[in-house]
Amino acid sequence: MVKNILLTGGAGFIGSNVVQHLVQKYPQYKIVNLDKLDYCSNLEVIKYLDDCPNYKFVKGNILSADLVNYVLQKEEIDTIMHFAAQSHVDNSFGNSFEFTKNNILGTHVLLEAAKVNKITRFIHVSTDEVYGEILPSNPTALEGSTVLEPTNPYAATKAGAEFLVKAYQRSFNLPTIITRGNNVYGPGQFPEKIIPKFICLLERKRPCFIHGDGSHTRNFIYISDVVTAFDTILHNGVIGETYNIGTDFEISNLNVAKTLIRKYNLQDKEDEFIKFVEDRRFNDRRYAIDNSKLKALNWSPSVDWEEGLQKTIDWYRKHTHTFKNVETFLLPHPKPVAEPLDSFTL
């Protein structure tokens, strides 16, 4: 019985696509988008929704308990879809306090507000990185009940947030659902992630930077398939469950670069457009998740790798220069300034 949805982080890449889908497909729902407009947010892509009677944007931080409670009460929210998070692994190595504040404390603020305001469905968006690295000794895909073994500050904060979600469900009967997703890609993604970063570099006739030997593999899923997954979970997901959102398509970082170079007809100059650099402090070799629970809800991905990649390239060819301060994020290892511990405020 969804009526009024608060979606946090709705100006981010995944959140904004889910917002557009819900506003347009379900005019009977009211969608309230709460976003603090961080460096990777893009409000322009959803500006046209301002004219929709079932949509409202609120600029604000989920760390503000007063604001969150006010919005829940004023808009009579019954459902929360929590996308807001710091999500870039490289940044978490140098600015980890921000990840703790946003991902753990921010989630805690939302959970407490959801409990007080008797929210009927709380969907928490997490990541496959909470599972940790898949070792050769245990190569099977992981599912929701697997013990979490995060290996970097970003994944650790997302795992910490999940534990809070589960605690509120068990202690207070808060109706929660957790999702864990593969790497998402598609038009409009901020160029700190590997696919848009490589595309933007190639558009500038510059080489793709490969961390380590490039053999690390990831599973990729196109943005429209992620959107339909969240639609399915919103309406058919079982309270208390954890759903993996992903595909069986797995590719190494090096082969991602080679594929894009081929798409740009630069395969004869491959050596010029691939540059190996120092690896991350720790870089999981592989992830693998089992999406059978979600498939049992009659969801399956429909956009294959080649099709999704071409759509993404076509978009960036037109819009690659529209991102602000993009050059900072095209470096091999962006170095964010770490905030001191005493910057925590409530």
CATH code, domain carrying 22: 3.40.50.720
With cut-offs at 50, 70 and 90, classify the pLDDT of residue 322.
confident
Query: Looking at the domain assignment, is residue 109 inside a domain?
Result: yes
Q: Which of 35, 55, 131, 154 is catalytic?
A: 154
β-bridge partners, 91: none
261, part of any domain: no
Whether 264 is a known active-site residue: answer no
Residue 39 lies in a domain: yes
Amino acid occupying residue 241: E
| β pairing state of 242-245 and 55-59 | unpaired
- pLDDT > 70: percent of the chain: 92
**Contact 260/208 with Cβ under 8 angstroms?**
yes
CB atoms within 10 A of CB 255: 13
Report how far residue 35's alpha carbon sits from residue 57's, in angstroms, rounded to the nearest whole number.
Answer: 8
Helix/strand/coil (H, E, C) string of 239-298?
A: CCCEEEECCCCEEEHHHHHHHHHHHCCCHHHHHHCEEEECCCCCCCCCCCECCHHHHCCC
**pLDDT of residue 136 exceeding 90:** no
Question: What pLDDT score does 339 carry?
Answer: 47
| Structure confidence at residue 204 (pLDDT) | 94
Residue 268 in any domain: the answer is: no
Q: Which stretch of 149-163, 308-322, 325-339 has the lowest confidence by average pLDDT?
A: 325-339
Output the pTM of the full model: 0.93
- Report yes or no on 119 lying in a domain: yes
pLDDT, position 133: 85
Establish if 333 belongs to a structural domain. Answer: no
36-40, 43-47, 201-205 — most confident range? 201-205
pLDDT: which is higher, 54 or 139:
54
- The pLDDT confidence band at residue 329, using thresholds 50, 70 and 90, is confident
Average pLDDT value for residue range 29-45: 92
Residue 51: alpha-carbon gap to chain centroid: 26
The one catalytic residue in 35, 128, 225, 284 is: 128
Asked if residue 157 belongs to a domain, the reply is yes
The closest alpha carbon to 129, from 197, 210, 40, 218, belongs to 218
Share of the chain above pLDDT 90, in %: 75
Q: Indicate whether 147 pLDDT > 80.
A: no
* pLDDT of the residue at 341: 41
Question: Is 128 a catalytic site residue?
Answer: yes
Which residue has 């140098």 as its token pair? Answer: 94
What region does 57 belong to: left with phi over 0, alpha with psi -120 to 50, or beta? beta
If one counts every other C-beta atom within 10 angstroms of the C-beta of residue 315, the result is 16
Tell me, what's the pLDDT at 139? 56
152 is in which domain, residue-wise?
4-190+220-248+283-301
Q: Is the pLDDT of residue 150 over 50?
A: yes
Please count the structural domains in the chain. Answer: 1
203 flagged as catalytic: no
Q: Which residue's structure tokens are 């740009």? A: 264
* CA distance linking residue 69 with residue 106, whole number of Å: 13
Show the tokens assigned to 123: 């969907």
Residue 276 lies in a domain: no
pLDDT at position 280? 77
Could you give the CA distance from residue 211 to residue 335 in angstroms, rounded to a whole number? 15
Contact 7, 68 (CB under 8 A): no
List, for residues 88-102, the tens digit of each pLDDT value. Answer: 676 766 778 888 999
What integer best gives the mean pLDDT of the chain?
91
Instruction: Point out the catalytic residue in the list 35, 78, 90, 129.
Output: 129
CB 282 within 8 A of CB 152: yes
The pLDDT, as a whole number, for residue 253 is 96
How large is the average pLDDT for residues 150-167? 94
Rounded Cα distance between 155 and 11, Å, is 22
